[in-house]
Structures are given as C-alpha cells and as structure tokens.
Structure 1
C-alpha cells in the first residue's frame, strides 16, 4: 500500500483547501474513503457492437434521453455522462463511441477516446444483444479490454431479451459464460435485460452500484447529465438527420449551432427558443440528399428534431436548419478541433 504523505488529513476527515493545494498531496493515497462505508460512487461505461443497445440502456438507467440512438454504426461521437443518483450511491454512466476500424482522422480520434475511457472507469458493461450470435467483433472488443494494464471490472449484459424466446436466451447466456474460458476473463455477473420493456434495468443499476468503490457524490442530486445544452441540441438534430439515410451518409453528417437563445419580447409564460443550426456534409450530392425533393427531407428532419428538443428542454422551439458542404471535414484537423474532437 502507498504511504500517506505528511500533508495527508487525519483518517476519515476530508482535506482542507490548503491540503488539497499542497504539492505533496496525492488524492489517491491521502484521502481516506474507508471511514464512510455508507455511500458509493464511481463510473461505468457500456461497450458493444453497433446497435447493441448501449445508448438506449444508458437512457433507460438515467430515466431521460441524454444519448442519441440509431441503428447506424458510430452514432455516438463523444462521451456523454449520464448520472444515476440514489440514497446510497451515485453511478455515472459514460456513453462512448463504438470501437471500429478507422478510415478517417475523426475515426482515429474516436477510437483514442474510447480506449482512454476504458482506463478511467470502475466497471465496463459489455452489451451482447440476445437476438444476435456472439461474433468476432464481440470477442475482439472484450479481448482488447482484457489487454489493459489496469483492468476494469467486467459485467456481461444480454440486451434486447424482449426479441428472443426463453430457449434462445438460455443458449445466449451459456455462450456469454463461455467467453470467460475463451478469452481468459471473469464476468462479475451476467444480466439479461431489455431497455424496451424495462425488464431487469433496475437489476443492472443495482449490480453496477455493488461494484463501485466507496466515495462521495460527484454531482448534485437531481442532475442527470453534465452535457451542455447546446451539445444535447446538436446531437438531437444529428439523430433526426440519421433516420432514413443511406449507410454511407451518416458518417459524413455533423451539426453546428450558429445561434441559440430565447426570443426577446415574448411573455414570460410563453417563451420561445430560437435555434439556428447547420447540418454539415462532405459533398454536394450529400447536400441534395439531405434537402430532398422540394426540401421535403430537410423539413422532416427539422420537425423530428424540433419535437425532441422541445420535449427535452420543456419549451417551444423554433428551429432554422440549413445544409452546408465542407469537403472531407472528417480529415480536417482544424475543423475537428473546432468540433471538440
């Protein structure tokens, strides 16, 4: 065990500001969390193939939509934190992009983000859809986590149980158990669940909390995410844009908010949020697809996004949506930096 520094506070006592600012202070060894055995807190993330139910499960546990969902690969492009607060614990869920073979600079940066997140969480939940056989992609993903120097605790989640029979689910659970010997890993537990019906979602939360260390809450009670409102709005617009487009187009779509604010001169009991946003694609042909015949597709995207944003923020929304072309933006480091990648 590491030795506590001379500036460490007494056991069971939180450090003062002066102690925190000391050059010799090490939070790993100098804060004694063992004195409070009544509250747990920590971080977990879900991993899995595209459309494995990662973001849907995050939303179900949080109880609100904080992560966008789609059947398209690489829907999630940055980490989104969902906060589950209970009397005895606070579980922070990190929704991450899926690990994939990168074809662009954006893809490389997303993979780096995923691997970094794995090393920082206490628990990784591996989503293995019950309606799909375990394949090479699943074993590769779990194998990569198993190679980490600092290995998080592993929980297997048999998602989408509402789509299979009891016999099929039992076989799937046995296949999941078989990964232990095949990959040299150990599941802390295996949980069948369905975000669609809500079956066993509470069990997922309970089991994840059991695996967390003792510690204080990171967020105030009632907070469900630390994601900025503008970022949530961008993601909801992108989710609306992904619906119904061809497989190669989703990777080429991003969203920028140009202006957002409450309209001046409105009565306090009748607010209206004005949002001016642009969907950015890489080619003129893609712009044509996004706009559609006589602007019909763009109108549909705007309507879907407006309803979702209004539901999330609890206020009426006016959305002004345009489509712009920025050639090969996924390979442009300056633009990626501007987007926060």
Structure 2
C-alpha cells in the first residue's frame, strides 16, 4: 500500500473504525491524507479546528484538507495533495485490461452502487450484494446473473423493494444496463432482497460478501 486517504465527519467523537485505521497507518508507516468532509454543514469553525487538531495529534498526516464533496468545495486541493503521493509504477496489465477484479465482484459492486445512488439517504450503507450465480448460456450470448441484496432490517428490505416492487425494478434495470455495457453481452439479471441482521459485525459474512 503506497498511500491512503482517510475521510471523516466534521464533528463527533473518534470512531472505533477511524482509530483502527490510524493504528494501521502507524504500524505500517503509510503516508496518509486526511479529508474532513461536509464542512459546509459546520457553522462554528472553532469546532472544525478542534477536529483538525484532534486528528493531527493522532497521526502525522501528509495534509489535512477540509472539503464538501456535495458542493465540490476544496476538491481540487484534495486531488493535488493526492497527486503528490502518486508515482508511476510498472505496467502490470495489458492496455485493454480495465480491472483485475473478478466478474462477480464487479457485478455486485454495480448493483450496490445503483442502490446507494437511487436511495441516497433513505437507507444506511449497511447493505451488501452477493452474486449467487453467473453463467453464460451455451446457445445464446446471454449472461444469467442471480444476485441477493442483503440489508440489516425488515424496514430496509421494504424500502429497497419499494411500492409494488418499483424500486427493486429500477435498481435491477439500471444495473443490467451498466453490466451489458461492461460485459458487452445481453444480461438476464434477477435480484432478491434478504435480511441479515448485524451482518457488518460478523466476520464470516463480511468475507462471503467480499468486503474484507
């Protein structure tokens, strides 16, 4: 790992996940940039300065950049700081290789991205997508994909499915369209929604979902 970008909220206490990442930075001596997001929501700048001071005392970040991703505030400055930590490396893959990720992982990430974009703040990010089946038909250029969307509560399941299945249909349609562009073939996508309570705190499930 050459460098890291840590994105945090503009207020609140230090979260366990943030401390864990900072401890890893220290242990492996990883250069890191700190981005404090949603600064447009902070009226008292003294609170922001306290936040910056707290993280600066925890780790010697290469740079600390207050940003607002929603409004595009200071994003160019963040890019410039990240560029300072980037460098050219060996050419590991052919020019026409877009990614080294398995196709199932790519398919699941496409579906998850559509859920987050379409639902925005309606549900938390506690969702995962598992591609159970991915098989090409021998007689036609059609790729059959079966995917299960996991959430943590029954109420979230209802929101993902939507009234008369409208939201799930929209998620599936937009996901299929993106998959057809990427895989360059016709896609038959079937999506289901299941509840797995507290899955983010269960290491076995995190591994199964490819999120570790």
Q: TM above 0.5, one fold?
A: yes
Contact kept in structure 2, 1:131 and 1:160, CA below 8 Å: no
The reply to whether residue 237 of structure 1 matches residue 145 of structure 2 is: no
Partner of 1:153: 62
Partner of 1:263: 137
Give, in whole Å, the separation in 2 of the partners of 1:47 and 1:301.
29
Contact kept in structure 1, 2:63 and 2:81, CA below 8 Å: no
Instruction: Find the partner of 2:84 among 185, 197, 207.
Output: 207
Map of 1:17-36 to 2, 5 A cutoff?
A: none
Map of 1:58-137 to 2, 5 A cutoff?
A: 101=15, 108=17, 112=20, 115-116=23-24, 120=28, 123-128=31-36, 132=40, 136=47
- Unaligned ranges ≥5, structure 1: 1-41, 53-98, 103-107, 170-191, 195-199
Give, in whole Å, the separation in 1 of the partners of 2:183 and 2:23.
32
Partner of 2:125: 251
The reply to whether residue 294 of structure 1 matches residue 164 of structure 2 is: yes
How far apart are 1:333 and its partner, in Å? 3.8
Give, in whole Å, the separation in 2 of the partners of 1:288 and 1:317.
25
- Unaligned ranges ≥5, structure 2: none
Aligned residues: 205
**Aligned with 1:312: secondary structure?**
helix
Partner of 2:8: 49
How has the CA–CA distance of structure 1 residues 227 and 158 changed in structure 2, closer, same or farther, with 3 Å as cutoff? Answer: same
Partner of 1:193: 76
Give, in whole Å, the separation in 1 of the partners of 2:173 and 2:98.
25
Give, in whole Å, the separation in 1 of the partners of 2:38 and 2:203.
39
How far apart are 1:238 and its partner, in Å? 1.2
How far apart are 1:304 and its partner, in Å? 1.9
Q: TM-score when scaled to structure 1?
A: 0.47
How far apart are 1:237 and its partner, in Å? 0.9
Give, in whole Å, the separation in 1 of the partners of 2:195 and 2:67.
40
Give, in whole Å, the separation in 1 of the partners of 2:198 and 2:38.
37
Give, in whole Å, the separation in 2 of the partners of 1:111 and 1:264.
50
**Aligned with 1:243: secondary structure?**
helix
Give, in whole Å, the separation in 2 of the partners of 1:281 and 1:231.
18
How far apart are 1:272 and its partner, in Å? 2.6
Q: TM-score when scaled to structure 2?
A: 0.69
Give, in whole Å, the separation in 2 of the partners of 1:312 and 1:120.
36
Give, in whole Å, the separation in 2 of the partners of 1:155 and 1:320.
44
Q: Which has the higher helix share?
A: 2
How far apart are 1:322 and its partner, in Å? 0.6
Give, in whole Å, the separation in 2 of the partners of 1:206 and 1:264.
46
**Aligned with 1:250: secondary structure?**
coil
The reply to whether residue 276 of structure 1 matches residue 146 of structure 2 is: yes
